[in-house]
Amino acid sequence: MTELLTAAQMRAIETAAIESGEVTGLELMERAGAGVVEAIFEEWPELAGADAAGGEGGIARPAEKGGVALHPALPDSPQDICEQKKFRAVVLCGPGNNGGDGFVVARLLRQRGWEVEVFLYGDAVKMPPDAKANYERWLENAGVHRWDDNFIEDTLDECDHDLVVDAVFGTGLTRLMPDDTERTWHGFVPRVFSWHQKDRPKYVAVDIPSGICSDSGRNLEGAFPTDLTVSFHRAKIGHYLLAKGPPDGGTLWCGKVVVKDIGLKDACIADAVRLFDPTISTLTKFSDTHKYSHGHALILAGGPGRTGAARMAARGALRVGAGLVTLAVPPAAQKEVAAQVTAIMLRQVGDATALAKVLEDARFNAIGLGPALGLDEDAAALVATALEAGRATVLDADALTLLAKDAALFAKLHDKCVLTPHAGEFKRLFPDIAAKLEAVPTKGPAYSKVDATREAAKRAGCLVLFKGPDTVIAAPDGRCSINSAQYERAAPWLATAGSGDVLTGFIAGLLARGIAPQQAAETAAWLHVECALDFGPGLIAEDLPEQLPNVLRRLLSRP
Ligand SMILES: NC(=O)C1=CN([C@@H]2O[C@H](COP(=O)(O)OP(=O)(O)OC[C@H]3O[C@@H](n4cnc5c(N)ncnc54)[C@H](OP(=O)(O)O)[C@@H]3O)[C@@H](O)[C@H]2O)[C@@H](O)CC1
Ligand SMILES: [K+]
C-alpha cells in the first residue's frame, strides 16, 4: 500500500529531515527540480536530445518589452525568442517553494541547451530563502519576466514551444487562484491551440497542477490542466481524488502522476490515507479445504422480474471464493431464479420471519442485500432482521435508500457492516455531509471526499465505501484508503448496469471468507476494477465474475 500525503504531512516530513541535519531545504529543492527534468525526459525521450547545444551563459539578449526587466539578457519580443534554438520551454514560477523548484527546472533545462523563458508570479523579495536562492542563481545567467498574462499568451502564441512548466503553486495553495494566473491559463490554452492538437507543447506540473488543492483534489478556480504531474516522495491525496476539468471536461487535471524520490525517509503517519494495492495475504486463506471453512454467504433477491441483480451478486460472491452461496428468494420468484442458477443454492424467504429462521443457522456468516430488493415495508423488515442478526453484512442500493428513510433502521448498523453508496445514495444517506462536499471551495485545504467518507463512517459506526473512479473506503476509526480507477487503471466501461451488484457480491464473498470488513471492501473494490481492466471495453456486469479467475491467478502468482 502506498501512503498518500496531505500538504501538512509532507511539510512535517520535510521539516523533520531538515531539522535532523540529514539534508538541507536547498538540496531537497535541487532534487525536486532534477526529478521533474528526469520525468520529462522519461515521458518524452524525444525531448532529451539537446544536451550539446547552448548551456549556461548562452546568447545575450536585449531587455524585456512586455514586463519589467529584472535582468538585461532577455529577448525583445516573442518573435525574437522564436528565431533561436530547437527545444523551447516556458517555465511559470510562483512566489513560494514550488516556484523555487521551477527555477531549478529552468536552470537544468538551460544547462542542456534549451531555450527557457521564465515568468515569475509575485514578488521576488518575499520569496522563501531556498526559492530565492534558486531565483538568484537563475539570474546569474538569464532573465525573468514579470507575470503578464498578455505577454505570456503572445509568447506561446507566436513560438513553437516544446514544453510549458507550471511551477506557480504547489502544496502551499491556500486560497482561490488569483485572477491574473487564471486569465493566463484560460486565455492561452483554448486560444493558442486545441488541447488535442498533437504538436502543441507538453504541459508539466511541478508537484500538483496550480489551482488544484493537494489535500482534496478540488479546483480552487482556474486550475492549470497538464499532461504530466511530477510529485515528490509520495503522491498527495489530491492526485487521486477525482478532479475532472478542461480542456475537454473529461481529462484529469493531473494528466499522469509520476512520483520522484528526493531522498526523504518514510515516516510513520498514523492516519495516512493509502492507495490500495492488495497483498497476497489478503487472499491466501485458500489452505483450508472444507467448503464451510470458506464461509457461506446469503444474498437476498428481489421479487419476480427483479432477481438479476442478486443473481449477479451471488455469482460474484462464489467466484471470489465464498465456500457456499445461497440466494434467499421470495416464493413467487423461485422458479425464475431456479431456472438460472446451478452452483448457487436457493432458499425460499418470503418475509422477515422466514429470514430470521434461515439466519438461525450460524454457518451463514455473511449477508449481501439491497440490489433490487424493493423499497416497501417488507423490504425494510428484511433489512432490520439482517442487521439484528449481527453478521458481516454488505448493504447496497435499495437497502441504502431504506436506511436513509428510517433513522431507527440506520441505528441498527453495526461494526461488521459495509455500506456501498454511489454519490446519489451517499447524498440520501448523509445529506449534510454531501452538502459540504458539493459546496464550492473557497480556500485550501478544501473539504474532500476522504473527509466526507471518514465523517460518514464515523456516524454510521461501520465501514463506508463511497463509489466512483476514486472510490474512498473509510472505517469509523478513520483508517482510509482510495481505490483508484484512474490514470493507468482507468476503466470507464465499468460504469455499466449491474456492476455495483457484482461489487456487493465480491464484498459479501470476502466477508464470508472471514476477511475483516475494511480489507474485504478494499480488496473487492480493487478486484472489481482489475476484472474490468482485464476484460476491456464491451464489458457488461455479467462478465466481471467470469474475469475473476484470471485476475486471482495473476495475483496469487505475484512474487
Ligand atoms: N515539502 C517538501 O518536502 C518539499 C517541497 N517542495 C516544493 O515546495 C512546494 C511547497 O512550497 P510552499 O509551501 O512554499 O508553497 P507554494 O505552493 O509554493 O505556494 C506558497 C506561496 O504561494 C502564495 N499563495 C498561496 N495561495 C495563493 C493564492 N491563491 N494567490 C496568491 N498567492 C498564493 C503564498 O502566499 P502566502 O499565503 O504566504 O501569502 C506563498 O507565497 C511543494 O509543492 C513543492 O513543489 C520541494 O522543493 C521539495 C521538498
Ligand atoms: K504547480
Helix 543-556 vs helix 517-535: crossing angle, to nearest 10: 110
Predicted pLDDT at 222: 80
CA atoms within 13 A on the CB side of 235: 23
Helix, strand, or coil (residue 274):
strand
CB atoms within 10 A of CB 554: 11
Q: Which atom of ligand 1 is nearest to the CA of 7?
A: 1
Query: What domains does the chain contain, in order, with CATH numbers?
Result: 2-269 (3.40.50.10260), 280-556 (3.40.1190.20)
Measured from the CB, is residue 178 less than 6 Å from ligand 1? yes
> What is the separation, in whole angstroms, between the first and last Cα of the chain?
16
CB 89 within 8 A of CB 106: yes
Kindly report the protein residue whose alpha carbon is nearest to atom 26 of ligand 1: 173
Q: What is the pLDDT along the chain (559 residues), one digit of tens a residue?
A: 689 999 999 999 999 999 999 999 999 999 999 999 999 999 999 999 745 344 443 322 223 333 333 333 344 455 554 454 479 999 999 999 999 999 999 999 999 999 999 999 999 999 999 999 999 999 999 999 998 877 787 777 777 889 999 999 999 999 998 888 877 776 655 555 567 777 788 999 999 999 999 999 998 888 877 899 999 999 999 999 976 554 444 556 888 999 999 999 987 788 899 999 887 666 655 445 566 678 999 999 999 999 999 999 999 999 999 999 999 999 999 999 999 999 999 999 999 999 999 999 999 999 999 999 999 999 999 999 999 999 999 999 999 999 999 999 999 999 999 999 999 999 999 999 999 999 999 999 999 999 999 999 999 999 999 999 999 999 999 999 999 999 999 999 999 999 999 999 999 999 999 999 999 999 999 999 999 999 999 999 999 999 999 999 888 887 7
CA of 242 to the centre of ligand 2 (A): 17
The answer to whether residues 450 and 481 touch, using CB atoms and an 8 Å cutoff, is no
pLDDT for the residue numbered 182: 76
Record the pTM: 0.91
Handedness of CA 296, 300, 303, 307 (dihedral sign): negative
Contact 1, 275 (CB under 8 A): yes
* Phi-psi sector, 289: left (phi>0), alpha (psi -120 to 50), beta: alpha
166 known member of a binding site: yes
* 99 CA to centre of ligand 1 in angstroms: 8
501 annotated as ligand-binding: yes
98 alpha carbon – ligand 2 mean position (Å) = 6
Pairwise CA distance, residues 218 & 342, whole Å: 47
For helices 97-111 and 129-139, give the axis angle rounded to 10 degrees: 30
532 neighbors 493 (Cβ within 8 angstroms): yes
DSSP for 87-98 reads -EEEEEE-SSHH
Tell me, rounded to whole angstroms, the distance of Cα 169 from its chain centroid: 20
- Is ligand 1 within 6 A of the CB of residue 176? yes
Report whether 503 contacts 473 (CB < 8 A). Answer: no
